[in-house]
Amino acid sequence: MSLSTLMTLILVWVAAIASPGPDVVQILRTGLKDRRAGVLVAIGIMLGNTLWISASLAGLSALIDAYPSILRTLQLIGGAYLSYLGFRAFQGGLRAWRSQKFTVAVPGSFRDRGHSSLSDAAALRLGVTTNLANPKAILFFGSVFAQFVRPAAHVNGDYIPAPIVAIVLIVVGLCWFVGVALAVNTMATHLEKYSPIIDMLSGVVFLAVGVVMLYQGLSGLLAKQSAGLALHWPA
C-alpha cells in the first residue's frame, strides 16, 4: 500500500468510526454508568476492529468478494446478536425507568453513579462482540476496506507493509473510541438522570439495526438459493 493510499484510507477510517453506530452507542450507555467499564468496552471494540483489520489484510475482504454468501451469513449472526442486545438494553432501561432506581451523583465521583454490573472481562467481551456484530464493521471491512488492500506493485519504494497499516488504523481507532469513553465523564452528571431513557433508545437502535441486518442477510441468501434453483430447473 502506498503512502497516498494509506492517507486516504485513514480519512475513510476516521469517517467510518466517527459516525454514530452501535459501537459509539454502546460506549455511551456503558460509560454513563461507569467510566472504567466504558473505557474497557472501548478497548474491546478496538480488539474487535483489530480482528477485522487483520482478517481483511489476510484476505477476508477478497474472500467476501468471491463468496457474497459469507457476508449474508455474517449479517444474520450480527443481526441476531444486535437484536438480543437491543432487547436487553430496552428491557433494562424500562425496568429502571419504572422503578426510578437512578441516583444523584457527586460531581466527579463515578463510584456514586449507577454501579456497573459488568466485570472487567465482561466489559471487554461486550465491546468485542458488539463490534463483531456491528453492521458498519461488517460492511466496511467486507467492501470498502477491500478497495484499499488489493495487491499492489512496489513503485519507487513507496510501499507500506500490511502490519504498519494495521498498527496505524488500530492506534487511530483506539484514540477515538477511548476518547469517546472518557468524554462521557464530562457529560455524565448532566445525563445520568436520563440513563434509563438512553438505555431504551439504545435498545431501539440496536433492535432496528438488528432487524434490518436479519432481513438483508436472509433475503440475500434466499435470493441466491432461488437463483440456484432457477438455474437448475429443467427447461
Q: What is the pTM for the complete model shown? A: 0.71
Confidence at residue 19, expressed as pLDDT on a 0 to 100 scale: 78
Q: Name residue 183's amino acid.
A: A
Average pLDDT over residues 200-225: 83
| Better-predicted residue by pLDDT, 107 or 36 | 36
Q: pLDDT tens, 159-207?
A: 678 788 889 999 999 999 999 999 886 776 666 677 778 788 888 887 8
Average pLDDT over residues 142-159: 58
pLDDT at 114 over 60: no
Q: Which three cell numbers stand for residue 54?
A: 487483520
Query: Which positions ≥6 away from 163 have C-beta within 8 Å?
Result: none
Q: Which three cell numbers stand for residue 48?
A: 474487535
232 pLDDT tier (thresholds 50, 70, 90): low
Could you give the CA distance from residue 39 to residue 28 in angstroms, rounded to a whole number? Answer: 10
Residues across the chain: 235
pLDDT at 120 over 90: yes
Q: pLDDT tens, 33-42?
A: 888 999 999 9
